[in-house]
Amino acid sequence: GGLVAARAVGRMLALPDDAAARTYTDAEAPQGPDAAAPVESVAAPERAVALPRASYVDPIVERNIFDSSLVGKPSAGVVGEGTCRSDSTVRLLATVVAEPEQFSSALISAGGKDARATGFVVGDDVAGYHGREPIPPRLYIRWAQFAAFTGFFLNGGHGERRLWKRSAEELEIIRRYAWLHTELVPYMYTHVVRCHEGAPPLIRPEGDRYQYFFGDDFFVAPIYRDATRQTVDLPPGTWRLLDHDRETLVGARRLARDFPLAEFPVYIRDGAIVPMNVERAYTGFGDKDSKGFQTWAIWPRGTNEFVAHQPDGTGTTTVRVESGNSLRVAVTGTAKPHVLRIRLETKPSSVSRNGQPLSEGADWHHDAADARLWIRTREPAPARYDIR
Protein backbone atom coordinates (compact mmCIF):
# COMPACT_ATOMS: atom_id res chain seq x y z
CA GLY A 1 0.00 0.00 0.00
CA GLY A 2 0.95 3.65 -0.22
CA LEU A 3 2.41 3.42 -3.71
CA VAL A 4 -0.70 4.27 -5.67
CA ALA A 5 -2.05 6.95 -3.34
CA ALA A 6 1.12 9.05 -3.36
CA ARG A 7 -0.16 11.54 -5.94
CA ALA A 8 -3.16 12.32 -3.74
CA VAL A 9 -1.08 13.05 -0.67
CA GLY A 10 1.65 15.01 -2.44
CA ARG A 11 5.09 14.35 -3.81
CA MET A 12 6.94 14.36 -0.54
CA LEU A 13 6.96 11.38 1.79
CA ALA A 14 7.81 12.21 5.39
CA LEU A 15 11.19 11.16 6.65
CA PRO A 16 11.82 10.20 10.29
CA ASP A 17 11.88 13.01 12.82
CA ASP A 18 15.66 12.94 12.95
CA ALA A 19 16.07 13.51 9.21
CA ALA A 20 15.38 16.57 7.10
CA ALA A 21 12.63 16.02 4.56
CA ARG A 22 13.38 16.93 0.98
CA THR A 23 10.90 17.74 -1.77
CA TYR A 24 11.69 16.93 -5.37
CA THR A 25 10.54 19.37 -8.00
CA ASP A 26 9.52 18.51 -11.56
CA ALA A 27 12.86 19.87 -12.77
CA GLU A 28 14.73 17.40 -10.58
CA ALA A 29 12.71 14.41 -11.74
CA PRO A 30 14.36 12.06 -14.25
CA GLN A 31 13.77 12.82 -17.90
CA GLY A 32 14.45 11.11 -21.19
CA PRO A 33 14.38 7.47 -22.26
CA ASP A 34 15.32 6.08 -18.86
CA ALA A 35 12.90 8.23 -16.90
CA ALA A 36 10.55 5.36 -16.14
CA ALA A 37 13.24 3.16 -14.63
CA PRO A 38 12.97 2.42 -10.90
CA VAL A 39 14.25 5.42 -8.95
CA GLU A 40 16.18 5.13 -5.72
CA SER A 41 15.04 7.16 -2.79
CA VAL A 42 16.40 9.62 -0.30
CA ALA A 43 18.28 7.78 2.44
CA ALA A 44 17.47 8.64 6.04
CA PRO A 45 19.39 7.65 9.19
CA GLU A 46 18.54 4.09 10.26
CA ARG A 47 15.80 3.91 7.66
CA ALA A 48 15.15 4.30 3.95
CA VAL A 49 12.07 6.04 2.60
CA ALA A 50 10.97 5.58 -0.98
CA LEU A 51 10.09 8.45 -3.28
CA PRO A 52 8.76 7.20 -6.64
CA ARG A 53 9.39 10.40 -8.57
CA ALA A 54 9.14 9.00 -12.07
CA SER A 55 5.58 7.78 -11.58
CA TYR A 56 4.46 11.34 -10.76
CA VAL A 57 6.02 13.57 -13.35
CA ASP A 58 7.50 11.61 -16.23
CA PRO A 59 5.59 12.53 -19.41
CA ILE A 60 5.80 8.97 -20.76
CA VAL A 61 4.23 7.60 -17.62
CA GLU A 62 1.68 10.41 -17.55
CA ARG A 63 0.42 9.36 -20.96
CA ASN A 64 0.59 5.62 -20.37
CA ILE A 65 0.38 5.17 -16.63
CA PHE A 66 -1.81 2.09 -16.93
CA ASP A 67 0.69 0.30 -19.17
CA SER A 68 3.30 0.30 -16.45
CA SER A 69 3.87 -1.55 -13.22
CA LEU A 70 4.83 -0.53 -9.73
CA VAL A 71 8.00 -2.17 -8.52
CA GLY A 72 10.34 -1.87 -5.59
CA LYS A 73 14.05 -2.66 -5.68
CA PRO A 74 16.14 -2.98 -2.52
CA SER A 75 19.59 -1.49 -3.05
CA ALA A 76 22.63 -0.47 -1.04
CA GLY A 77 21.29 1.59 1.84
CA VAL A 78 18.07 2.75 0.18
CA VAL A 79 14.85 1.38 -1.18
CA GLY A 80 13.70 2.32 -4.66
CA GLU A 81 10.18 2.43 -5.99
CA GLY A 82 8.96 3.49 -9.37
CA THR A 83 7.59 2.18 -12.61
CA CYS A 84 8.87 -0.03 -15.36
CA ARG A 85 7.47 -0.13 -18.86
CA SER A 86 5.51 -3.29 -19.42
CA ASP A 87 7.45 -4.02 -22.63
CA SER A 88 10.82 -3.83 -20.88
CA THR A 89 13.02 -6.82 -20.19
CA VAL A 90 11.43 -7.06 -16.75
CA ARG A 91 8.00 -7.71 -18.30
CA LEU A 92 6.20 -7.72 -15.01
CA LEU A 93 2.55 -7.33 -14.21
CA ALA A 94 1.08 -4.88 -16.71
CA THR A 95 -1.71 -3.13 -14.85
CA VAL A 96 -4.09 -2.82 -17.77
CA VAL A 97 -5.44 -5.66 -19.83
CA ALA A 98 -7.55 -4.70 -22.83
CA GLU A 99 -9.25 -8.09 -22.59
CA PRO A 100 -9.29 -9.05 -18.91
CA GLU A 101 -9.16 -12.74 -19.77
CA GLN A 102 -5.59 -12.20 -20.98
CA PHE A 103 -4.43 -12.65 -17.42
CA SER A 104 -1.07 -13.88 -18.64
CA SER A 105 -0.01 -10.32 -19.47
CA ALA A 106 0.05 -9.64 -15.74
CA LEU A 107 2.29 -12.59 -14.93
CA ILE A 108 6.03 -12.79 -14.61
CA SER A 109 7.84 -13.53 -17.86
CA ALA A 110 10.40 -16.24 -17.30
CA GLY A 111 12.51 -14.68 -20.05
CA GLY A 112 12.86 -11.36 -18.24
CA LYS A 113 16.53 -10.98 -17.41
CA ASP A 114 15.90 -8.31 -14.81
CA ALA A 115 13.16 -10.38 -13.17
CA ARG A 116 15.74 -13.05 -12.45
CA ALA A 117 18.74 -10.93 -11.57
CA THR A 118 17.42 -7.95 -9.61
CA GLY A 119 15.66 -7.41 -6.31
CA PHE A 120 12.28 -6.31 -7.57
CA VAL A 121 9.34 -6.69 -5.22
CA VAL A 122 6.36 -6.91 -7.50
CA GLY A 123 2.64 -6.29 -7.25
CA ASP A 124 -0.27 -5.53 -9.52
CA ASP A 125 -3.83 -4.28 -9.52
CA VAL A 126 -6.03 -7.34 -9.03
CA ALA A 127 -8.19 -7.85 -12.15
CA GLY A 128 -6.48 -4.89 -13.84
CA TYR A 129 -6.81 -1.18 -13.24
CA HIS A 130 -8.88 -0.58 -16.38
CA GLY A 131 -10.89 -3.01 -18.45
CA ARG A 132 -14.32 -4.35 -19.20
CA GLU A 133 -17.05 -4.05 -16.63
CA PRO A 134 -18.32 -5.86 -14.74
CA ILE A 135 -15.15 -7.74 -13.80
CA PRO A 136 -15.70 -11.45 -14.54
CA PRO A 137 -15.94 -13.24 -11.18
CA ARG A 138 -13.62 -16.11 -12.09
CA LEU A 139 -10.99 -13.71 -13.38
CA TYR A 140 -11.24 -11.65 -10.20
CA ILE A 141 -10.81 -14.74 -8.01
CA ARG A 142 -7.87 -16.24 -9.91
CA TRP A 143 -6.08 -12.90 -10.06
CA ALA A 144 -6.54 -12.35 -6.32
CA GLN A 145 -5.15 -15.81 -5.61
CA PHE A 146 -2.07 -14.97 -7.68
CA ALA A 147 -1.66 -11.57 -6.01
CA ALA A 148 -1.61 -13.19 -2.57
CA PHE A 149 1.79 -14.61 -3.49
CA THR A 150 3.38 -11.39 -4.71
CA GLY A 151 4.91 -8.51 -2.81
CA PHE A 152 1.86 -6.24 -3.05
CA PHE A 153 -1.86 -7.08 -2.98
CA LEU A 154 -3.61 -4.12 -4.62
CA ASN A 155 -7.41 -4.28 -4.87
CA GLY A 156 -8.15 -1.06 -6.72
CA GLY A 157 -9.19 0.14 -10.14
CA HIS A 158 -12.23 -0.17 -12.33
CA GLY A 159 -15.44 -1.96 -11.44
CA GLU A 160 -17.03 -2.85 -8.13
CA ARG A 161 -14.34 -3.63 -5.55
CA ARG A 162 -16.48 -3.82 -2.41
CA LEU A 163 -16.52 -7.56 -1.98
CA TRP A 164 -19.72 -7.54 0.05
CA LYS A 165 -21.38 -6.07 -3.06
CA ARG A 166 -20.20 -8.95 -5.21
CA SER A 167 -21.09 -12.65 -5.08
CA ALA A 168 -20.80 -14.66 -1.86
CA GLU A 169 -18.29 -16.95 -3.61
CA GLU A 170 -16.03 -14.03 -4.53
CA LEU A 171 -16.25 -12.62 -1.00
CA GLU A 172 -15.28 -15.89 0.67
CA ILE A 173 -12.43 -16.83 -1.65
CA ILE A 174 -10.86 -13.41 -2.17
CA ARG A 175 -11.12 -12.59 1.52
CA ARG A 176 -9.26 -15.78 2.36
CA TYR A 177 -6.37 -15.00 0.00
CA ALA A 178 -6.22 -11.33 0.97
CA TRP A 179 -5.86 -12.34 4.61
CA LEU A 180 -3.30 -15.00 3.72
CA HIS A 181 -1.18 -12.34 2.03
CA THR A 182 -1.33 -10.23 5.20
CA GLU A 183 -0.47 -13.23 7.36
CA LEU A 184 2.64 -13.87 5.26
CA VAL A 185 4.11 -10.39 5.87
CA PRO A 186 6.80 -11.70 8.30
CA TYR A 187 7.88 -14.25 5.69
CA MET A 188 7.93 -11.68 2.88
CA TYR A 189 9.67 -9.08 5.02
CA THR A 190 12.43 -11.54 5.87
CA HIS A 191 13.07 -12.36 2.22
CA VAL A 192 13.17 -8.68 1.26
CA VAL A 193 15.74 -8.04 4.00
CA ARG A 194 17.77 -10.99 2.77
CA CYS A 195 17.61 -9.66 -0.77
CA HIS A 196 18.80 -6.28 0.47
CA GLU A 197 21.78 -8.11 1.93
CA GLY A 198 22.57 -9.89 -1.34
CA ALA A 199 20.35 -12.98 -1.41
CA PRO A 200 17.97 -13.77 -4.32
CA PRO A 201 14.75 -11.72 -4.58
CA LEU A 202 11.38 -12.66 -3.13
CA ILE A 203 9.98 -13.67 -6.55
CA ARG A 204 12.09 -15.83 -8.86
CA PRO A 205 10.69 -16.97 -12.23
CA GLU A 206 11.16 -20.63 -13.02
CA GLY A 207 10.79 -22.23 -16.44
CA ASP A 208 8.58 -20.95 -19.23
CA ARG A 209 5.06 -21.54 -17.85
CA TYR A 210 4.66 -18.37 -15.73
CA GLN A 211 5.71 -20.35 -12.65
CA TYR A 212 7.87 -18.91 -9.90
CA PHE A 213 9.36 -19.36 -6.45
CA PHE A 214 7.92 -17.19 -3.70
CA GLY A 215 10.80 -17.04 -1.28
CA ASP A 216 12.62 -20.32 -0.69
CA ASP A 217 9.61 -22.36 0.37
CA PHE A 218 6.65 -21.71 -1.96
CA PHE A 219 6.30 -22.65 -5.61
CA VAL A 220 3.43 -20.96 -7.47
CA ALA A 221 1.86 -21.93 -10.80
CA PRO A 222 -0.85 -19.31 -11.49
CA ILE A 223 -4.00 -20.31 -13.35
CA TYR A 224 -4.28 -17.67 -16.06
CA ARG A 225 -6.83 -19.35 -18.33
CA ASP A 226 -10.52 -19.93 -17.64
CA ALA A 227 -10.06 -23.58 -16.72
CA THR A 228 -9.59 -25.68 -13.60
CA ARG A 229 -7.02 -28.05 -15.10
CA GLN A 230 -3.44 -26.93 -14.53
CA THR A 231 -0.11 -28.46 -15.52
CA VAL A 232 2.80 -27.76 -13.19
CA ASP A 233 6.50 -28.37 -13.69
CA LEU A 234 7.37 -29.15 -10.09
CA PRO A 235 11.00 -28.33 -9.18
CA PRO A 236 13.35 -30.92 -7.68
CA GLY A 237 12.78 -31.80 -4.05
CA THR A 238 9.82 -32.93 -1.96
CA TRP A 239 6.69 -30.78 -1.97
CA ARG A 240 3.15 -30.63 -0.64
CA LEU A 241 0.11 -28.83 -1.98
CA LEU A 242 -0.59 -25.98 0.43
CA ASP A 243 -4.33 -26.74 0.40
CA HIS A 244 -3.86 -30.53 0.68
CA ASP A 245 -0.64 -31.04 2.57
CA ARG A 246 -1.10 -34.59 3.87
CA GLU A 247 0.44 -36.02 0.70
CA THR A 248 4.07 -35.49 -0.29
CA LEU A 249 4.96 -35.01 -3.95
CA VAL A 250 8.29 -35.88 -5.52
CA GLY A 251 9.59 -33.01 -7.65
CA ALA A 252 11.49 -32.77 -10.92
CA ARG A 253 8.43 -33.85 -12.90
CA ARG A 254 5.36 -32.50 -14.64
CA LEU A 255 2.01 -32.89 -12.87
CA ALA A 256 -1.53 -32.13 -14.01
CA ARG A 257 -4.59 -31.87 -11.78
CA ASP A 258 -7.82 -29.96 -11.32
CA PHE A 259 -8.02 -26.96 -9.03
CA PRO A 260 -11.58 -25.90 -8.13
CA LEU A 261 -12.12 -22.17 -7.96
CA ALA A 262 -11.50 -22.07 -4.21
CA GLU A 263 -8.07 -23.70 -4.62
CA PHE A 264 -4.86 -22.50 -6.24
CA PRO A 265 -1.64 -24.25 -7.38
CA VAL A 266 0.69 -23.31 -4.54
CA TYR A 267 3.18 -25.87 -3.28
CA ILE A 268 5.08 -25.76 -0.01
CA ARG A 269 8.53 -27.28 0.32
CA ASP A 270 8.58 -30.21 2.73
CA GLY A 271 10.74 -29.09 5.64
CA ALA A 272 9.56 -25.47 5.37
CA ILE A 273 9.33 -23.17 8.39
CA VAL A 274 7.16 -20.11 7.75
CA PRO A 275 6.70 -17.16 10.15
CA MET A 276 3.21 -15.66 10.05
CA ASN A 277 1.01 -13.04 11.69
CA VAL A 278 -2.45 -14.61 12.10
CA GLU A 279 -5.44 -12.78 13.56
CA ARG A 280 -8.49 -14.45 11.98
CA ALA A 281 -9.74 -17.93 11.08
CA TYR A 282 -10.26 -17.25 7.36
CA THR A 283 -7.17 -19.10 6.14
CA GLY A 284 -6.95 -22.09 8.48
CA PHE A 285 -3.57 -21.02 9.88
CA GLY A 286 -5.08 -19.97 13.19
CA ASP A 287 -8.00 -17.95 14.56
CA LYS A 288 -8.79 -14.80 16.55
CA ASP A 289 -6.91 -16.24 19.52
CA SER A 290 -3.73 -16.20 17.42
CA LYS A 291 -3.61 -12.41 17.61
CA GLY A 292 -0.64 -11.23 19.63
CA PHE A 293 1.32 -14.41 18.91
CA GLN A 294 3.78 -15.09 16.14
CA THR A 295 2.63 -18.20 14.32
CA TRP A 296 5.21 -20.62 12.93
CA ALA A 297 3.85 -23.00 10.28
CA ILE A 298 6.13 -26.03 10.19
CA TRP A 299 6.34 -29.01 7.84
CA PRO A 300 9.06 -31.19 9.47
CA ARG A 301 11.58 -33.01 7.30
CA GLY A 302 15.14 -33.62 8.42
CA THR A 303 16.87 -30.60 9.96
CA ASN A 304 15.96 -27.07 8.90
CA GLU A 305 15.94 -23.58 10.35
CA PHE A 306 14.50 -20.20 9.49
CA VAL A 307 15.88 -16.86 10.69
CA ALA A 308 13.04 -14.34 10.66
CA HIS A 309 13.69 -10.60 10.62
CA GLN A 310 10.96 -9.12 12.78
CA PRO A 311 8.94 -6.45 10.89
CA ASP A 312 8.72 -4.35 14.08
CA GLY A 313 12.50 -3.96 14.06
CA THR A 314 13.09 -5.83 17.31
CA GLY A 315 15.68 -8.19 15.85
CA THR A 316 15.70 -11.74 14.53
CA THR A 317 14.10 -14.94 15.72
CA THR A 318 15.44 -18.36 14.72
CA VAL A 319 13.36 -21.53 14.64
CA ARG A 320 15.28 -24.76 14.17
CA VAL A 321 13.49 -28.08 13.60
CA GLU A 322 15.09 -31.51 13.90
CA SER A 323 12.92 -34.50 12.98
CA GLY A 324 13.68 -38.19 13.38
CA ASN A 325 12.50 -40.66 16.01
CA SER A 326 11.31 -37.60 17.91
CA LEU A 327 10.77 -33.98 16.96
CA ARG A 328 12.74 -31.10 18.44
CA VAL A 329 11.95 -27.43 17.89
CA ALA A 330 14.16 -24.61 19.21
CA VAL A 331 13.02 -20.98 19.26
CA THR A 332 15.89 -18.58 19.93
CA GLY A 333 16.77 -14.93 19.46
CA THR A 334 14.17 -12.18 19.86
CA ALA A 335 11.57 -13.69 22.16
CA LYS A 336 7.87 -13.32 21.37
CA PRO A 337 4.72 -15.19 22.37
CA HIS A 338 4.32 -17.84 19.71
CA VAL A 339 2.18 -20.60 18.28
CA LEU A 340 3.76 -23.64 16.65
CA ARG A 341 1.53 -25.12 13.92
CA ILE A 342 3.25 -28.41 13.06
CA ARG A 343 2.30 -30.91 10.37
CA LEU A 344 2.18 -34.17 12.35
CA GLU A 345 0.16 -37.26 11.45
CA THR A 346 0.26 -39.03 14.82
CA LYS A 347 -0.67 -37.54 18.16
CA PRO A 348 2.44 -37.34 20.38
CA SER A 349 2.55 -39.07 23.74
CA SER A 350 4.31 -36.12 25.37
CA VAL A 351 5.34 -32.53 24.69
CA SER A 352 7.85 -30.68 26.86
CA ARG A 353 9.27 -27.15 26.86
CA ASN A 354 12.72 -26.52 28.28
CA GLY A 355 12.56 -29.95 29.93
CA GLN A 356 9.20 -29.35 31.60
CA PRO A 357 6.15 -31.39 30.47
CA LEU A 358 3.33 -29.39 28.91
CA SER A 359 -0.34 -30.02 29.59
CA GLU A 360 -2.47 -31.42 26.79
CA GLY A 361 -5.46 -29.18 26.22
CA ALA A 362 -4.00 -26.19 28.05
CA ASP A 363 -0.63 -25.93 26.28
CA TRP A 364 -0.99 -28.17 23.24
CA HIS A 365 -3.47 -30.20 21.25
CA HIS A 366 -3.41 -32.47 18.23
CA ASP A 367 -6.02 -32.11 15.48
CA ALA A 368 -6.33 -35.63 14.04
CA ALA A 369 -8.61 -34.58 11.17
CA ASP A 370 -6.07 -32.00 9.99
CA ALA A 371 -2.96 -33.96 11.10
CA ARG A 372 -1.70 -30.91 12.98
CA LEU A 373 -0.02 -30.32 16.33
CA TRP A 374 -0.62 -26.92 17.94
CA ILE A 375 1.57 -25.58 20.75
CA ARG A 376 0.90 -22.18 22.32
CA THR A 377 3.41 -20.29 24.49
CA ARG A 378 2.54 -16.94 26.05
CA GLU A 379 5.91 -16.28 27.64
CA PRO A 380 8.17 -14.14 25.41
CA ALA A 381 11.22 -16.29 26.10
CA PRO A 382 13.47 -18.67 24.14
CA ALA A 383 12.13 -22.22 24.20
CA ARG A 384 13.20 -25.72 23.30
CA TYR A 385 10.45 -28.25 22.64
CA ASP A 386 10.77 -32.02 22.72
CA ILE A 387 7.87 -33.84 21.03
CA ARG A 388 7.64 -37.63 21.38
Q: Give the integer Cα–Cα distance in Å for 132 and 154.
A: 18
pLDDT one-digit tens code per residue, 334-373: 989 999 999 999 999 999 999 999 999 999 999 999 999 9
Q: Give the integer Cα–Cα distance in Å for 218 and 215.
A: 6
Report the predicted TM-score, pTM, of the whole model to 2 decimal places: 0.76
pLDDT one-digit tens code per residue, 175-210: 999 999 999 999 999 999 999 898 999 999 898 778
Return contacts of 221-225, CB within 8 angstroms, 24+ apart: 221/265, 221/266, 221/267, 222/103, 222/107, 222/142, 222/145, 222/146, 222/264, 222/265, 223/142, 223/145, 223/259, 223/264, 223/265, 224/103, 224/104, 224/107, 224/142, 224/146, 225/103, 225/104
What's the first-to-final CA gap in the chain, in angstroms?
44
Q: What is the pLDDT of residue 158?
A: 86
Q: Give the integer Cα–Cα distance in Å for 186 and 290.
A: 15
CA distances from 80 to 10, 67, 76, 250, 259 (A): 18, 20, 10, 39, 37
Q: Give the integer Cα–Cα distance in Å for 67 and 87.
A: 9
CATH class of 273-387: mainly beta
pLDDT one-digit tens code per residue, 6-36: 232 222 223 233 322 233 233 333 333 333 3
User: Residue 357 is which amino acid?
Assistant: P
Q: CB count, 10 Å around CB of 218?
A: 19
Calculate mean pLDDT across residues 291-318: 97
Three-state secondary-structure class, residue 183: helix
Cβ neighbours for 209, distance < 8 A, ≥ 6 positions apart: 110, 221, 231, 232, 233
Give the H/E segment covering residue 233: strand 229-234
Cβ neighbours for 313, distance < 8 A, ≥ 6 positions apart: none
The per-residue pLDDT of the chain, averaged, comes to: 76
DSSP E strand stretches across 15-145: 39-40, 42-44, 47-49, 68-74, 79-85, 121-125
Q: Is the pLDDT of residue 296 over 70?
A: yes
* Cis? peptide before 134, omega within 30° of 0: yes
Cβ neighbours for 201, distance < 8 A, ≥ 6 positions apart: 118, 119, 120, 121, 191, 195
pLDDT one-digit tens code per residue, 89-144: 223 333 333 344 445 555 543 333 344 444 456 777 888 877 788 899 999 999 99
Yes or no: say if 84 and 71 are a contact pair by the CB < 8 Å rule: yes
Q: What is the pLDDT of residue 104?
A: 55
What are the boundaries of each domain within the chain?
6-203, 273-387
Q: Is the pLDDT of residue 295 over 90?
A: yes
Q: What is the pLDDT of residue 103?
A: 56
Calculate mean pLDDT across residues 314-336: 97
Q: Give the integer Cα–Cα distance in Å for 202 and 212.
A: 10
pLDDT one-digit tens code per residue, 240-283: 999 999 999 999 999 999 999 999 999 999 999 999 999 999 99
